[in-house]
Amino acid sequence: MELIHKGFDKLEIAIKAGLPMRLASIFEKAKTLASETDTPTPVDINGVRFFVASSGMMGGYRYRANTGTFGEEWWFKQKTSRKDAWGIRVRVSSVRIAVRGWSEAKKRIHQTLEALGVVALPHEYSIGRIDFAMDFLFPSFEPISKNFVMGHRFKRNQNAIATEYIEAGRTDRVETVTVGKMPGRQLQVYDKRAEVLSKKDRTWFEIYNHKRRAAGESEFDFSNPSVSRIWRLELRAGKKHLKEDWKVSSWSQVETTAPRIFKAMLRDIRYVVPSASDQNRSRWPNHRLWDGALEALKGDLFNLKSDISEERLYAVQLQEWEDMIRSHISGSMIAMAARRGVSRDQLCTFATAQFSNLLEEYEENKAHTERRLSKARKKYGLADEGEPIDV
């Protein structure tokens, strides 16, 4: 068993402030344009780029925007009042906070608020959720739900819920065990390798292997689960748990208390090694995964980060996306060829002819092609040459 990553995995925060009227007008126009074009509208505000969506979010948030793939999700209410003063909500992407760390995520939120012209006092920040993740290389491990023991202080949803994972025709593997319920507190143990493969997003594989390369070690062979299965232990503290059980919400309160919150969670919910000679489950010893997690929670948790560049992560995602598009193109071409009765020997000639026809259509319908290309650029956050990104 080897700890290969630890760090915060999610941060959600509400801010007792509102969007300035001038910016609300800009966001309204951007939202309308996003609805008309069916793609998020990029908006630059004092050096910060937002991609404004065509819809808002439950809770009275009229505007929804993000700051990029590895950025934050922002929600804004159009107006605030004394009864409804919490007009801004932020969620930091799991990759950003995992790679750049808590301190950098906090700094970026403050910088974005400054760009928006929003001023908030320390007590006007209310953290609503924090997750902390620990990833262990542990191919031989498989969680058993009945080996979770809940202490007397753990009241909510005391059952350990196991989810089976189907791999290569097998149905006898457990992929995930979840204990607890949000917005209280929740603990989850799951097969991170399986999750990455099912989502077809190898960002995390690149994060793991970057660290291996930096240490002069060989990369993980993720094609072979017997040597690369990674189990994630994720600790989640929701709004009710933070505010009702621990009486914390501000930056400073959470930063002072978070390590104790997570350690208490591991004490109240334990994964144990059963003892045939002792029927009292509360006396069963911790599994070494649990002891490893408790050890991982020691030290500074707020400045954990990776030195991998965002450019490298973008390149990995782009390659994954392009591979998917090529697969779709290839599959569509083969389907068309099969429907036309094209043989294997004729396939290359057939495909070449089809692509030639496409190129001719692009040239014959230049205006339509340019509109489609422009829409696609905006969808992926790219401005047309000479086109201002501001609304």
Instruction: Report in angstroms the alpha-carbon separations of 39 from 32, 43, 70, 91.
Output: 10, 13, 18, 21
Structure tokens at 73: 């999700």
Instruction: Report in angstroms the alpha-carbon separations of 339 from 68, 91, 131, 332, 336.
Output: 41, 47, 50, 11, 5
Segment 186-201 mean pLDDT = 91
* Of 216, 214, 195, nearest in space to 135 by CA: 195
Q: How many whole angstroms separate alpha carbon 249 and alpha carbon 245?
A: 11
The H or E element containing residue 28 is: helix 21-37
Identify any residues that bridge with 63 across adjacent strands, giving them in sequence order: 76
* Structural domain spans, the chain: 17-119, 131-308, 311-379
Average pLDDT along the chain: 89
Residue 160's pLDDT band (boundaries 50, 70, 90)? low
Residue 380's pLDDT band (boundaries 50, 70, 90)? confident
Residue 279's pLDDT band (boundaries 50, 70, 90)? confident
* Of 86, 64, 115, nearest in space to 18 by CA: 86
HSE, side-chain direction, 13 A CA sphere, residue 83: 1
Neighbouring residues of 186: CB distance < 8 A, sequence distance ≥ 6: 178, 179, 180, 236, 238
Neighbouring residues of 118: CB distance < 8 A, sequence distance ≥ 6: 15, 17, 18, 19, 20, 88
Residue 307's pLDDT band (boundaries 50, 70, 90)? confident
Q: How many whole angstroms separate alpha carbon 323 and alpha carbon 311?
A: 18
Segment 360-370 mean pLDDT = 92
Taking the mean position of all CA atoms in its chain, how far away is CA 72? 10
For the chain, how long is the longest CA-to-CA vector? 82
Inform me whether the pLDDT recorded for 163 exceeds 60.
no
Residue 384 has a pLDDT of: 52
Inform me whether the pLDDT recorded for 387 exceeds 50.
no
* Of 256, 114, 237, 255, nearest in space to 187 by CA: 237
Neighbouring residues of 97: CB distance < 8 A, sequence distance ≥ 6: 7, 8, 9, 10, 11, 105
Q: Which residue has the higher pLDDT, 339 or 387?
A: 339
Inform me whether the pLDDT recorded for 158 exceeds 50.
no
Q: Which residue has the higher pLDDT, 214 or 161?
A: 214
Neighbouring residues of 56: CB distance < 8 A, sequence distance ≥ 6: 31, 62, 63, 64, 75
Q: Which residue has the higher pLDDT, 53 or 93?
A: 53
Beta strand pairing call for 125-137 and 48-52: unpaired
Q: Which residue has the higher pLDDT, 309 or 292?
A: 292
Instruction: Report in angstroms the alpha-carbon separations of 201 from 45, 196, 265.
Output: 30, 6, 30
Q: Name the DSSP class of 391.
A: -
Q: Which residue has the higher pLDDT, 163 or 188?
A: 188
Segment 124-139 mean pLDDT = 97
Inform me whether the pLDDT recorded for 164 exceeds 70.
no
Burial of 359 (0-12, 13-18, 19+ CB in 10 A): exposed
Inform me whether the pLDDT recorded for 145 exceeds 90.
no
Segment 334-356 mean pLDDT = 94
Question: What percent of the chain stands above pLDDT 90?
Answer: 71
Residue 378's pLDDT band (boundaries 50, 70, 90)? confident
